[in-house]
Chains A and B, each alone.
Chain A
């Protein structure tokens, strides 16, 4: 994508409405509250797709809605846009209550998974679709369109029809069309899922760079955790119509709030256990040292530890939580390997060791070895599959 001046798009094209929008943006400024969602509920007949969601999004933020299929991401996004109206709840966008407004009265641009490019209009006319309506002069529109196409890395394709473009190019046109009216909020519903892996990785960074330069508040729906991790300022992890956790990619990964998050973002060993006291749990007959929160004392819980946190180097018998395990399967994954380990108690663990460790420790299938589960990497979650609300 072509390097671009900051906010170039917003200032090149003048329109009273946009100036107003820009004014609001300046008042609000980066990092202030832009969108406030309060107790949003969406029902389809008896089925509750969104169960009272609240969320605040700051201006200029890149937010990802991440969650398994059917958890309500699209429903949430469409409710924010006003395309599928919420059953109850409030939406406040840059200080204005938009809960009851129709989509055409709100300020957003949207890119659908199908792109929804108008097949009978050329690329230029697609991009200009929202501009023509604003009584701008023809040359102005033309210039704006070519700027936008330049921005998304498709200069000179004005006269082509969408069908003549590749998936990735269509995606860019859809993005240009959504950005044409300089919306304060950009909504992307799985924009990359229809593309092949390479194009996807490439577009990821482009979209992110574009978003940063335009400082447009963006919400992207995805079920690809890698996508969310690399692009988002904050990730909203959803499951069964509720938010499980909101946080930066690092927070989400390192401090998952629930067992679901721990398991959905990255991989985790989730082991059912009984909390004995504040310092120990019992997992399938093995006693492990942990630091257990007060609320879980004496209860059934889930112990979580990430595969890469399982230690294998220089372990003594006296070390806490050291286990003698049998090496079962080894899955070679390039720079590291995923190893399945079984303990004599029947406990099975998945661990990831770097190629370095694999070599140094001579880890081969059928041998036994010693591993540790460091206390600082062990998390405990309430046993019930989390659905707190």
Chain B
């Protein structure tokens, strides 16, 4: 009955599975995705690199441009300025956000939900908004100019405050997550050993969030060193790398030197990115599946102190928004303080009018729709394709790359690449499409990670079950995978929409007279001295982002109810 055969010594015939139509489709799509990502990420960056080694006649001159750059004291000063401003604001925001995150996760303070929402306000607006508000408060005609004791807000002080406000939510989210994932059992152990609160903080809390803090530092540093809006509005004569890049390209039309600054700007971003990857890899090993969440215990003094702190921070964030909102309704600051909608008559001003706003809406919508389709689709292919390892690894590399490329640098490289006369994709230049592409690429990494995380959370055997029941893969995708991933899909599209709506850096070099955008209009109107209309346009952006977030909230809540039905008894 039993029938074990001894294996023979004949060399075995290797069997290769016949590829099913599903496999062919997936592999073809993966190749298409690789080509697409290569075209919109790698090739443009390469053309920027090439440009930096050319003279204005297009001849190769090696590193001559870089030598000129580093020998020009004014340009070189921007590097130290940038590092100073970013370093200072990063450390400041880290400190502020840590306290805020600590209050939200480790105390029994009142109104946590409120403080959670308020902290997100800066995400709704371009970075310009915080700078504009600062001008209204501390500027030449500001309401609280005297508070600065004669110092001018136009310069490093203004830039630092503006940046701190703008990146506050980004830092907060990372730190909060790492505080939430610390193992509660450690605290129980510390209490059992009668450790003092200070000692517990130093020995348990800080090491637990160490990686979160470092990660936040790198991300915030990249954001601040590559931001352009704040320095442009409130920097005055204080030059930083990002404003230099703008001046070289838009002001002097010196594209070669622009490419050089672009590459210099790429450096800190890439370094921070690599360091962050390194740290994040370490962090994974810290978490265990058996951790228990930490539940804070009430303590009157602590809770009240943190409540006061959070109230102060919230007051600043709300104040920033309220100041701009109020200023946008004031007829003619500071002479005619009556409230009116004068500043909202964008069609009477330069900057693109209401058309810019509708363009922005369209662009954000396209970015959300096509971006989500492409990003989620690619993530699905990478996760579910059988075999084809090499190609999947390439895609994974491509998806990480955009995070290290500042928006302005990406935009600049698009000029070089798409505007080249011999490029068959030249027709994209100056179109809506190129801005959509730029936005999708610029915000690719975060969206991709969201998609992959959601896909990984599903039972890997769903597809196997489908195959055993002879159900084509696409049916399983639409009937099971997609519905299960809908919350993530909503997250991605909301993220893409709001970031596309608010970004300046990714589109500043790419818009054309036909495709003016709201965020750029804010910048241009402010530059032309129309600061109140700029505030008004910024408020329109805030309003739109807020509405989309609200919509997202309600949709997600509905979904969660449904999922609760799927998940619990």
Interchain nearest-CB distance for A270 vs B (Å): 22
Tell me the nearest residue of chain A to B564, going by C-beta.
A163
A231 and B12 alpha carbons, distance in the complex (Å): 34
Tell me the nearest residue of chain B to A110, going by C-beta.
B468
Residues of A within 8 A of B565 (CB): 161, 163
Q: A102-B17, A109-B468, A114-B459 are in contact. Are A51 and B7 (CB under 8 A)?
A: yes
Task: Evaluate contact between A133 and B470: CB separation under 8 angstroms.
Answer: yes
A52 and B567 alpha carbons, distance in the complex (Å): 42
What mask results when residues 51 to 74 of chain A are scored 1 for a CB within 8 Å of chain B, else 0?
110111000000000000000000
Interface centre among B4, B479, B569 (most CB of A within 10 A): B4
Task: Evaluate contact between A243 and B4: CB separation under 8 angstroms.
Answer: yes
Q: Which residues of A contact B (CB under 8 A)?
A: 38-39, 41, 51-52, 54-56, 81-83, 85-90, 99-105, 108-110, 112, 114, 116, 118-121, 129-130, 132-134, 161-164, 177-178, 180-181, 183, 234, 243, 245-248, 251, 389
Task: Evaluate contact between A101 and B2: CB separation under 8 angstroms.
Answer: no
A131 and B280 alpha carbons, distance in the complex (Å): 45
Interchain nearest-CB distance for B501 vs A (Å): 31
Partner of A133, one of B23, B464, B469, B568: B469
Interchain nearest-CB distance for A158 vs B (Å): 15
Task: Evaluate contact between A389 and B464: CB separation under 8 angstroms.
Answer: no
A317 and B16 alpha carbons, distance in the complex (Å): 66
A74 and B7 alpha carbons, distance in the complex (Å): 21
Task: Evaluate contact between A39 and B471: CB separation under 8 angstroms.
Answer: no
Tell me the nearest residue of chain A to B483, going by C-beta.
A120
Residues of B within 8 A of A129 (CB): 465-466, 469, 471
Task: Evaluate contact between B4 and A120: CB separation under 8 angstroms.
Answer: no
A133 and B478 alpha carbons, distance in the complex (Å): 14
Q: A116-B465, A180-B469 are in contact. Are A100 and B18 (CB under 8 A)?
A: yes
Tell me the nearest residue of chain B to A112, going by C-beta.
B461
Task: Evaluate contact between A246 and B468: CB separation under 8 angstroms.
Answer: no
Residues of B within 8 A of A234 (CB): 1-2
B480 interface residue, CB < 8 Å from A?
A: yes
Task: Evaluate contact between B3 and A130: CB separation under 8 angstroms.
Answer: no
Task: Evaluate contact between B468 and A133: CB separation under 8 angstroms.
Answer: no
- Top 9 nearest A-B pairs (CB, nearest first) are A130-B469, A52-B7, A88-B12, A116-B461, A246-B2, A54-B5, A103-B467, A102-B20, A119-B566
Task: Evaluate contact between B469 and A39: CB separation under 8 angstroms.
Answer: no
Residues of A within 8 A of B471 (CB): 104, 129-130, 132-133
Task: Evaluate contact between B6 and A105: CB separation under 8 angstroms.
Answer: no
B186 interface residue, CB < 8 Å from A?
A: no
8 A-B residue contacts at CB 8 Å? Answer: A39-B5, A56-B3, A85-B16, A118-B465, A120-B483, A246-B1, A247-B1, A251-B2
B14 interface residue, CB < 8 Å from A?
A: yes
Partner of B465, one of A39, A110, A164, A247: A110
Q: A51-B7, A163-B566 are in contact. Are A177 and B18 (CB under 8 A)?
A: no
B13 interface residue, CB < 8 Å from A?
A: yes
B67 interface residue, CB < 8 Å from A?
A: no
Residues of A within 8 A of B8 (CB): 39
Task: Evaluate contact between B465 and A245: CB separation under 8 angstroms.
Answer: no
A120 and B559 alpha carbons, distance in the complex (Å): 11
Interface positions of B from 373 to 406, Cβ below 8 Å from A? none
Residues of B within 8 A of A100 (CB): 15-18
A54 and B4 alpha carbons, distance in the complex (Å): 6
B290 interface residue, CB < 8 Å from A?
A: no
Residues of B within 8 A of A52 (CB): 7, 12
Tell me the nearest residue of chain A to B461, going by C-beta.
A116
Task: Evaluate contact between B459 and A105: CB separation under 8 angstroms.
Answer: no
Tell me the nearest residue of chain B to A106, going by C-beta.
B468
Interchain nearest-CB distance for A58 vs B (Å): 9
Interface centre among A55, A102, A114 (most CB of B within 10 A): A102
Interchain nearest-CB distance for A189 vs B (Å): 9
